[in-house]
Amino acid sequence: MTGIGEVFLLALGTRSDALHPALAAQLRDPRRRLVLRGRFTVAGSRLGAVNALARPFVGPAALLTAYERDVPFQVELRSTRDAEGSPVLRTTRRFRFRTGEQTIADVLSVATETGAVRSALGSRGRAEVTMLCDVDSEGSLRLVSQGITLRLCGVRLPLPRGLGPRIRVTDGWDEVHQRRTIEMIARHPLIGTVLEYRGWFAPASG
């Protein structure tokens, strides 16, 4: 099994057959590097400065401090292999806010938990999120966080469920416009939504 989205396909196993054909085709794209561009109807965090306070713990390229509507963005995907030969997907998302560009990056790998992927968030990978993968009735890829672990000074600290945000991602397909759709929301049980974005994207033409 190969393709730019091999990490997701491996986690899904036979459930990948239920993906929308167009979405499955993009996940199986054989290119090792892919750039996609699109637009979010809304993106960012209303918490702003509160998120900035967390940067010393999670490192750069892990949080957004702006919140805007109609935000152009670019996603760069790079598929590589780790030392054991297992697939790794490196993703860089660039949000072109009117107040300035911000970036979220992560490194995805197949988790030891069945049917899940692991996201090392930010350029330093200090926050690790285990995401359970599934396919909904419309053929969209759905990811739901199962746990978050912080890595500080070489020590792994699993966050109790009541302290970490619950993350949900839906990666789907728009039949009318023939393009991918994305919706992500991270909601903390105590302070509410800490990060969200939703919109569409497609392979860059040049």
Residue 1: predicted pLDDT: 57
Cα–Cα–Cα angle for 34, 175, 22, nearest 5°? 40
Q: Kind of pairing, strands 141-152 and 100-110? A: unpaired
Contact present, 28 and 20 (Cβ < 8 Å): no
Handedness of CA 170, 62, 126, 91 (dihedral sign): positive
d(CA 188, CA 174): 29
Q: Distances from the Cα of 201 to the Cαs of 39, 71, 177, 181, in angstroms?
A: 7, 12, 11, 6
Q: Can you give the pLDDT at residue 50?
A: 76
Q: What is the per-residue pLDDT for 5?
A: 96
How far is it, in rounded angstroms, from Cα 60 to Cα 21?
36
Paired with 44 in beta bridges are 67, 196
Task: Please report, as a single letter, which amino acid is at residue 84.
Answer: E
Give residue 156's pLDDT.
Answer: 86
- Which ranges of the chain have pLDDT less than 50? none
> Residue 206 has what pLDDT?
55
What three-state secondary structure class fits 64?
Answer: coil
pTM of the model: 0.93
pLDDT digits (tens, 9 = 90+) for 97-152: 999 999 999 999 999 999 999 999 998 888 999 999 999 999 999 999 998 998 87
